[in-house]
Amino acid sequence: MGMGVAASLLRAGHEVCGCDLRAEARGEFAAVGGEAVARPDLLPPDLGALVLLVVNAAEADEALFGPAGAVNGLPPGTLVLGSVTMAPQAARALAARLSALGHLPLDAPVSGGPARAREGALSVMASGSAAAFAAAEPIFSAIAAKVWRLGEEPGVGSTVKMVNQLLAGVHIATAAEALAFGIRAGADPTMLFEVISASAGSSWMWQDRVPHILAGDDAPRSAVGIFVKDLGIVLEEARTLTFPLPLAAAAHQLFLAAAAAGHAGRDDAFVIRVWQALTGIPLPAKE
Amino acid sequence: MGMGVAASLLRAGHEVCGCDLRAEARGEFAAVGGEAVARPDLLPPDLGALVLLVVNAAEADEALFGPAGAVNGLPPGTLVLGSVTMAPQAARALAARLSALGHLPLDAPVSGGPARAREGALSVMASGSAAAFAAAEPIFSAIAAKVWRLGEEPGVGSTVKMVNQLLAGVHIATAAEALAFGIRAGADPTMLFEVISASAGSSWMWQDRVPHILAGDDAPRSAVGIFVKDLGIVLEEARTLTFPLPLAAAAHQLFLAAAAAGHAGRDDAFVIRVWQALTGIPLPAKE
Instruction: Report CA dihedral (B39, B45, B51, B52) to the nearest 10 degrees.
Output: 30
Q: Do B163 and A178 touch (CB under 8 A)?
A: yes
CA B161 to chain centre: 9
B230 domain-assigned: yes
Give me the pLDDT at residue A287, please: 79
CATH number of the CATH domain containing B264: 1.10.1040.10
Question: Considering only CB atoms, which chain A residues are within 8 Å of B156?
Answer: 186-187
Q: Are residues B45 and B82 in the same domain?
A: yes
Q: Are residues B139 and B203 in the same domain?
A: no
Q: Are residues A194 and A80 in the same domain?
A: no
Q: Are residues A181 and A65 in the same domain?
A: no
Q: Give the residue from A158, A247, A256, A274 with the most B CB atoms within 10 Å of its CB, the best one to mutate.
A: A247
Q: Rounded to the nearest 5 degrees, what angle is found at the Cα of B141, between the Cα atoms of B140 and B146?
A: 70
Section B12-16 average pLDDT? 97
Q: Do A178 and B187 touch (CB under 8 A)?
A: no
CATH number of the CATH domain containing B88: 3.40.50.720
The boundaries of the domain holding residue B164 are 159-279
Cβ atoms of B196 and A163 within 8 Å: the answer is yes
H/E stretch holding A202: none
Give me the pLDDT at residue A152, please: 95
Section B96-124 average pLDDT? 94
Rg (CA), chain A: 20
Question: Of B152, B187, B204, which marks where a domain is finished?
Answer: B152
ipTM: 0.92
Q: Are residues B25 and B54 in the same domain?
A: yes
Catalytic, A146? Answer no
Section B196-200 average pLDDT? 93
Instruction: Report CA dihedral (A232, A233, A237, A239) to the nearest 10 degrees.
Output: 10
pLDDT of B208 strictly over 90: yes
Q: Are residues B188 and B263 in the same domain?
A: yes
Give me the pLDDT at residue B170, please: 98
A36 domain-assigned: yes
Please state, in angstroms and rounded to a whole number, the distance separating the CA atoms of residues B96 and B105. Answer: 8
B171 domain-assigned: yes
Give me the pLDDT at residue B115, please: 85
Distance from CA of A254 to the nearest CA of B (A): 9
Q: Are residues B177 and B268 in the same domain?
A: yes
Q: Do B163 and A248 touch (CB under 8 A)?
A: no
Q: Give the residue from B110, B156, B174, B210 with the most A CB atoms within 10 Å of its CB, the best one to mutate.
A: B174
Q: Are residues B85 and B33 in the same domain?
A: yes
Nearest Cβ partner of B178 from A163, A199, A208? A163
Q: Count of domains in chain A?
A: 2
From the list B22, B151, B186, B35, the residue with the least C-alpha distance to A243 is B186
Please state, in angstroms and rounded to a whole number, the distance separating the CA atoms of residues A75 and A58. Answer: 23
B220 domain-assigned: yes
DSSP-assigned letters across all residues of B67-129: TT-SGGGSPTT-EEEE-----HHHHHHHHHHHHHTT-EEEE--EESHHHHHHHT-EEEEEEE-
Q: Rounded to the nearest 5 degrees, what angle is found at the Cα of B214, between the Cα atoms of B209 and B219?
A: 60
Give the tens place of pLDDT for each residue, B41-83. Answer: 999 999 999 999 998 999 999 999 999 999 999 999 999 999 9
Q: Which residues of B are catalytic?
A: 161
Give me the pLDDT at residue B114, please: 85
Question: Of A95, A121, A152, which marks where a domain is finished?
Answer: A152
Whether A256 has its CB under 8 Å from any CB of chain B: the answer is no
Give me the pLDDT at residue B134, please: 98
| pLDDT averaged over every residue in chain A | 96
From the list B221, B224, B279, B211, the residue with the least C-alpha distance to B253 is B224
Q: Do B246 and A146 touch (CB under 8 A)?
A: no
Please state, in angstroms and rounded to a whole number, the distance separating the CA atoms of residues B59 and B233. Answer: 14
Give the tens place of pLDDT for each residue, A164-220. Answer: 999 999 999 999 999 999 999 999 999 999 999 999 999 999 999 999 999 999 999
B287 domain-assigned: no
Section A40-61 average pLDDT? 95
pLDDT of B132 strictly over 90: yes
Q: Are residues A50 and A93 in the same domain?
A: yes
Q: Rounded to the nearest 5 degrees, what angle is found at the Cα of A179, between the Cα atoms of A175 and A182?
A: 145
pLDDT band for position A112 (cuts 50, 70, 90) = confident
Number of Cβ atoms within 10 Å of the Cβ of B274: 26
Cβ atoms of B221 and B211 within 8 Å: the answer is no
Question: Considering only CB atoms, which chain B residues are within 8 Å of A200?
Answer: 111-112, 164, 168, 204-205, 208
Question: Of A129, A152, A175, which marks where a domain is finished?
Answer: A152
Give me the pLDDT at residue B113, please: 83
Distance from CA of A33 to the nearest CA of B (A): 32
Q: Are residues A23 and A101 in the same domain?
A: yes
Sign, CA dihedral A233-A235-A236-A241, equals positive
Question: Considering only CB atoms, which chain B residues are within 8 Å of A201?
Answer: 163-168, 171, 204-205
B140 domain-assigned: yes
Is-above-0.95 flag for pTM? no
pLDDT band for position B139 (cuts 50, 70, 90) = very high
Q: Do A204 and B208 touch (CB under 8 A)?
A: no
Give the tens place of pLDDT for each residue, A113-133. Answer: 888 999 999 999 999 999 999
Give me the pLDDT at residue A145, please: 95
Q: Are residues A233 and A171 in the same domain?
A: yes
Cβ atoms of B168 and B147 within 8 Å: the answer is no
Q: Do B203 and A204 touch (CB under 8 A)?
A: yes
Distance from CA of A159 to the nearest CA of B (A): 7
**Parallel, antiparallel or unpaired: strands B104-107 and B122-128:** antiparallel
B43 domain-assigned: yes
Section B114-142 average pLDDT? 96
Query: What number of H helices and E strands is found in chain A?
Result: 12, 8
B285 domain-assigned: no
Q: Are residues A163 and A28 in the same domain?
A: no
Distance from CA of A167 to the nearest CA of B (A): 5
